[in-house]
Every structure is written in C-alpha cells, then in structure tokens.
Amino acid sequence: MTSPINETTLSPAQSRNASALSDQAFQRFAREVAKYPSEGKQSAVMACLAIVQEELGYVSAESEKDVAAYLEMAPIAVHEVTTFYNMYNQKPLGKYKFNVCTNLPCQLREGSTALAHLEHALGIEMGGTTADGLFTLQQSECLGACADSPVMLVNDVTMCSFMTTEKLDQLVAGLRAAERGAV
C-alpha cells in the first residue's frame, strides 16, 4: 500500500510558485497531510495556514495560493478559511497581537474602558500597530470566556482575563521590558 504522504503530497518544487515559504514549511505540510486519508488532505488546511503564519508572520494571498495548490483546493476556499478565523493575520502585524473582545458581555463589564486604556497606553487606535512594530490592537468576537470578562487574547494563545487598567499596564510594561532585555 502506498503511504499517504506519497499519494497526497507534491514536492516543494511542484507546489511552489513565487512563495517565500521554506522547504521546511512544505515538509511540515506533508506531515499534517499524512494525518488524514488521501481523499481528505484538505482537512489539513488550517494546520498548513498556521505553519505559514508561524514562518511568515501572516498569511499572504500568495501563500494562500501555495496552500491551495498543495492541498488541491480552490484558492478562494483557502481564503475563506483565512478570513473566517481571526487568528490568521492577513497582513504583517506587531510582535504582540492583542485581540480585545468587544462583544456585549465584555462591554458590560468595563470592556470599553479596557480598550480605551490600551489605545491610550499604546498610542494607537483599534486596528493599529505601534511604530516600533511591537503591538497590534484588534477587536475580537466573543472569545468564549464571558465569565472572565472583560478579556483579550494575546498572540492567539494567552488569555488575559478580568482586565483592569492596572493589569493592562503591567502586561504592556512587562512585554516592553522583556523586549529591552532581549536586545
């Protein structure tokens, strides 16, 4: 029996057009595709987009086409996935992405105060990125943590619950300090 990888994957050279994706990214695509039956390789689309974002920092239109070619999907179908989930960045963003929940339960519990405080502390408006490229502020739909409201998600992974202005100041100061330490 032929292995799923052989049946379902193309070589990087076959898949690549003008992409900036590395060979390692395509090797990781292959590992994701191998988790599914050959007729279901499109199920790896979210994982492949996550790999793209890890490597490039965002999912460009060009890399969507690479993923589509690799998974034998229509590019528009890949684009629909990219635009449906707000964890995928469609343009280069700051190193730290703050997704502030703006749905009603959070707004009823000082969510708008937290958002305004962040805008002031970072010197940007919702949707903006700080000039030093460190922070991007975005709004988010319900993050499924209404009991902890108001909340925001940092880099799609770390939930910041019960946001107070003090907590937000500590978070921003801590990240800035870490960056200074890393230089």
- Using CB under 6 A as the criterion, which residues of the chain lie in contact with ligand FES when the complex forms? 101, 103, 105-106, 142-143, 145-146, 149, 151
What's phi and psi for 136, nearest 5 deg?
-120, 135
CB of 103 to ligand FES, least distance (A): 4
Q: Of the two residues 81 and 114, which places its CB atom closer to ligand FES in the complex?
A: 114
Per DSSP, the three-state class of 158 is strand
CB of 91 to ligand FES, least distance (A): 24
Q: Of the two residues 12 and 150, which places its CB atom closer to ligand FES in the complex?
A: 150
* Sequence-ordered list of residues with C-beta below 8 angstroms from that of 66, at least 6 positions apart, any chain: 15, 16, 17, 19, 21, 52
CB of 102 to ligand FES, least distance (A): 8
For β-strands 158-160 and 96-101, DSSP reports them as unpaired
CB of 44 to ligand FES, least distance (A): 29
Alpha carbon distance 66, 62 (integer Å): 7
Q: Of the two residues 130 and 155, which places its CB atom closer to ligand FES in the complex?
A: 155
What's phi and psi for 174, nearest 5 deg?
-65, -40
Alpha carbon distance 103, 16 (integer Å): 40
What is the total residue count of the chain? 183
Residue owning tokens 């994957």: 9
Alpha carbon distance 64, 182 (integer Å): 32
DSSP-assigned letter for residue 35: T
Q: Of the two residues 13 and 147, which places its CB atom closer to ligand FES in the complex?
A: 147
Q: Of the two residues 142 and 154, which places its CB atom closer to ligand FES in the complex?
A: 142
CB of 153 to ligand FES, least distance (A): 9
CB of 105 to ligand FES, least distance (A): 4
Q: Of the two residues 60 and 138, which places its CB atom closer to ligand FES in the complex?
A: 138
